[in-house]
Structure 1
């Protein structure tokens, strides 16, 4: 039996075949996962129902399995129907989960189209589509190096 929190067999297999600089997208329920992914990326649907699972739950499981060296979010809009004043609450959840895992990674917001450009590269190996309904919950992770 596995000791870490990640027990999904397909996700575990993809991570085992990945390496340094590979990217993993944890996508919220609104992300266009079929057409905004890298040419080699696998899509794993974990969107059972609205709100299940959340992006932060997926992050916590991944942090138990792989080192993360960078975490990018989609920058919030300041005008229009999706505008927010300040950071979305989910980003605080990410910061707490990263810190609890012993990570010093700082969230890096990217402009929306720059975020998509980062996702659709050949380094993108996995999209985990969640049922998260929070705005700006998409999170792109760069896999780091195991140091022990």
Structure 2
């Protein structure tokens, strides 16, 4: 363990975060996401929720300031009667580390899957909320 780094961040996850360059993307996926079949690099964080991991990652991870919306959510499929209160938690966590306007976009489900296949890594969590998947685009460390 290291001082100042959340114990939720495993050695494998911190290695991947450090390897990523500007504009690389990382997916933080809920428990239903097909992470293993979509990942170029897979990190297992079973037993942890997305909000907790997001709060642990963001103090270390700059979001891309060269794009309007460096955070992407999987859009709810038309006809699905699903509430997404977890998105409000994500917005609050991101605002704590990156104040400003809304940094989130929503991406249609199958387009989200295609972006996930090209992401630098996917973090598979035990999150049980539906449509709780998130993509973060890395920015420049200044």
TM-score range relative to shorter protein: 0.7 to 0.9
Secondary structure of the structure 1 residue equivalent to 2:120: strand
The 5-angstrom pairing of residues 60-71 of structure 1 reads 60-69=55-64, 70-71=70-71
8 Å CA contact 2:82, 2:130 repeated in 1: no
- Listed one character per residue, the Cα deviations across residues 97-122 of structure 1 (whole Å, up to 9, x for unaligned) are 0011134352110001111111112x
RMSD: 1.6
Paired residue for 1:135, among 125, 130, 135?
A: 130
Q: Which runs of 5+ in 2 are unaligned?
A: 65-69
Measure how far apart 1:7 and its partner are: 4.1
Following TM superposition, the consecutive aligned residue runs of length 4 or more in structure 1 with deviations greater than 2 angstroms are 4-7, 82-85, 102-105
8 Å CA contact 2:38, 2:116 repeated in 1: yes
Number of matched pairs: 134
Paired residue for 1:22, among 17, 21, 24?
A: 24
Secondary structure of the structure 2 residue equivalent to 1:15: helix
Q: Which runs of 5+ in 1 are unaligned?
A: none
Alignment partner of 1:115 is 2:112? yes
Question: More helix per residue: 1 or 2?
Answer: 2
Measure how far apart 1:73 and its partner are: 0.7
